[in-house]
Amino acid sequence: MIPRYIVDFDLEKLPVVETDVIVIGAGIAGLFAAIKASKRNRVLMITKKSLFDSNTRYAQGGIAAVISDEDSPEFHRQDTLIAGAGLCDSDAVDVLVHEGPEGVQALIRYGTHFDEEDGQLALTKEGAHSQRRILHANGDATGFEIVRALADKVKSSSAIEIWDDHFALDLLTEDGVCHGAIVQKPDGSRVVVRGKATILCSGGTGQLYRYTTNPEVATGDGIAMAYRAGAIIRDMEFNQFHPTSLCYPGAPRFLISEAVRGEGAVLRNITGERFMEKYHEQLELAPRDVVARAILSEMEATKSTYVYIDITHESPELIRHRFPNIYEFCLNYGLDMTTDWIPVAPAAHYMMGGVRTDLHGETSISRLFACGEVSSTGVHGANRLASNSLSEAIVFGKRIVERIDAMGPPTGRLSSASVGPKRVGVPSGAIVERRLKLQKVMVRFAGLRRDAAGLNKGLEELRRQLPLFQTNLSKREELEFANLLTCALLVMEAALAREESRGAHYREDFPERDDLIWRKHTVLHREQGIGEEVISHV
């Protein structure tokens, strides 16, 4: 069993820092929530690297919101529900599609410069969207532009204190209420941070897999912390794999945005055949899980490790203007998008599951909130609609702060507590080797295609690592690995429990979707184990 705390500590011996609102993580969720909260509160932002190290920074395609007169919240709602494969909470989706446009205007007020055409916001289309509703910045650098603008505003606020290079170890709770967190400083010392509200904005779990579009910081820390604290974790079986990441010798798994297909790019196998018509009527703009599995099938059929994405039929001017960063990145490796087919393969990209929240971002633990990829709001269901995640972060970030501002101070106080000394020794074996082995287990048994035999074998291999939690963990790579191991076990257990195929979760031994039995959520709790949750609004 995963222990309550990842390290031993004695509260009476640790220094205490008091604030109003604690934000753990950065990205669009953390930055936006911090800005909103700073209007009435003292805010402490804790990042394990810096404000610029997050998944948001690497988001290329854009942010989805109803802007065009030809579009409507109802169209956006239907597209989201269809992509979510029956597991979306319709109330959460309604919140997203109706409040998203105001969130975009807030980003503009905070200094984000979205691309324009003829004096109007430029809009593009991505997979499974019926309308052009994707705003973008600097062509294909939307996330970087949003982070730039929000980070500038955060750094200029006297009400926001930033702790870079700090690692949040665990949440501190008592009687179902979160009072703050225990944090490890760059020098290895630890401090208790107390506040009236704590917001997890720590991102997803991309580093569970060997091939991912996520940065190195995406190690599932927030989900693991919340799980240890007793929060309900939901839908961990739904890992979205982006269909098209660069697959080329010597190059990292760089994201080739879905917007490239939105602008007309086609997929070809290594024989040059365009193949998506065999798999879905929407061709290259089918939902991501469909496209990713289609690519995997073509790779297996042609005994290749990649397929091609081809946009050479479009003008060089359009390609360079619309995708300047992707164009330049590929060119650095001798690949010219205007003349070459680009080799791509699926890679882990986004976690639809996470810490369960209500419509105001509050978790099952009072005064603990979750925002962004770490959360499970009910918006994404079994398969995230492209570019909805940035909208979700700003919409629910605003709602979280509204809830916090309506709260009074906590009625209780965190009593003195001591954990340890119980752990002895240090982890045996190189953590880098353990991490690589975990990633290989996840790719093999909990990747794009799964079955009971593989999932059981994967669980068996992961559980052999559990003695790690009985050792003294102090180095960041050790702590990150412990969090990855926690998340890996949750993914495996949830995937084994769901005996059907739905959205991003595909079981070869249960290939059909079963709405009669499985139109419900998978929930996990540290003490109560795994269970099910009926969808209240569909």
- Among 526, 463, 529, 459, which residue's Cα sits nearest to residue 495? 459
Q: Is 365 helix (H, G, I), strand (E, B) or coil?
A: coil
Exposure string (b/e) for 347-364, b if CB count within 10 Å is 16 or more? bbbbbbbbbbbbebbbbb
The pLDDT tens digits for 48-89 are 998 877 767 666 778 999 999 999 999 999 999 999 999 999
SS3 for 165-187, per residue? CCEEEEEEEECCEEEEEEEECCC
Helix (H) / strand (E) element for 260: namely: helix 258-262
The pLDDT tens digits for 422-449 are 788 888 779 999 999 999 999 999 999 9
The DSSP annotation for 474-506 comes to -SHHHHHHHHHHHHHHHHHHHHHH--S-BTTB-
Q: Which residues contact 315 (CB under 8 A, 6 or more apart)?
A: none
Q: Is 288 a catalytic residue?
A: yes
What is the reported pLDDT for 452?
Answer: 98
| Residue from 148, 288, 322, 434 carrying the catalytic annotation | 288
The pLDDT tens digits for 264-295 are 999 999 999 999 999 999 999 888 888 999 99
Helix (H) / strand (E) element for 345: namely: strand 342-351
Q: Which residues pair with 502 in a beta bridge?
A: 505
Percent of the chain at pLDDT > 90 equals 84
Q: What is the pTM of this model?
A: 0.94
The answer to whether 56 touches 28, Cβ cutoff 8 Å, is yes
The pLDDT tens digits for 388-433 are 999 999 999 999 999 999 998 887 777 766 576 578 888 877 999 9
The pLDDT tens digits for 516-529 are 999 999 999 999 99
First and final C-alpha spacing in the chain = 34
